[in-house]
């Protein structure tokens, strides 16, 4: 079984998250993308503290697709510097991880 990762990114609006999610699944860069309910983010940007409502995208994919996925997110993401963080999946339901492998580009 191939290694899987969970990639996180945030977006300013649910509709933008849905559009990115659908595109990534359609292009088989992700097997599944979950768009969260609104959350409140605090961060420093251009010397100021920002407070914004955002939605988190939980992107399930294979490690081998990370570079292509990152490139694609940067192309379609509205932020100048989007949060793109990949976490290795060390364990998971074997059938689910197999499904991720089956539903993404080979």
Mean pLDDT of 5-21: 98
Whether residue 48 is predicted with pLDDT greater than 80 in this model: the reply is: yes
- Give how many domains the chain has, as a whole number: 1
Mean pLDDT of 57-65: 98
Specify which residues 42 forms β-bridges with.
51
Range of the domain at 86: 4-103
Q: Where does the pLDDT of residue 2 fall: very low under 50, low under 70, confident under 90, or very high at 90 and above?
A: confident
Mean pLDDT of 80-102: 97
Copy the structure tokens of residue 1: 């079984």
Q: Where does the pLDDT of residue 54 fall: very low under 50, low under 70, confident under 90, or very high at 90 and above?
A: very high
Instruction: Please report the pLDDT score of residue 1 as a whole number.
Output: 73
Distance CA 38, CA 54 (A): 6
Using only the alpha carbons of the chain, give its radius of gyration: 14
Residue 40 sits in a domain of what CATH number?
Answer: 3.30.70.120
Q: Are the C-beta atoms of 69 and 24 separated by less than 8 Å?
A: yes
Copy the structure tokens of residue 16: 């933008």
């Amino acid at each position: 079984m191939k290694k899987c990762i969970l990639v996180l990114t945030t977006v300013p609006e649910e509709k933008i998250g849905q559009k990115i999610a659908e595109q990534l699944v359609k292009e088989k860069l992700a097997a599944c993308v979950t768009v969260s309910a609104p959350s409140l983010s605090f961060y420093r940007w251009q010397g100021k503290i920002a407070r914004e409502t955002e939605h988190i995208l939980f992107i399930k994919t294979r490690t081998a697709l990370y570079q292509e996925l990152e490139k694609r997110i940067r192309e379609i993401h509205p932020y100048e510097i989007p949060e793109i963080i990949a976490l290795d999946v060390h364990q998971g339901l074997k059938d689910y991880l197999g499904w991720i492998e089956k539903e993404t580009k080979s």
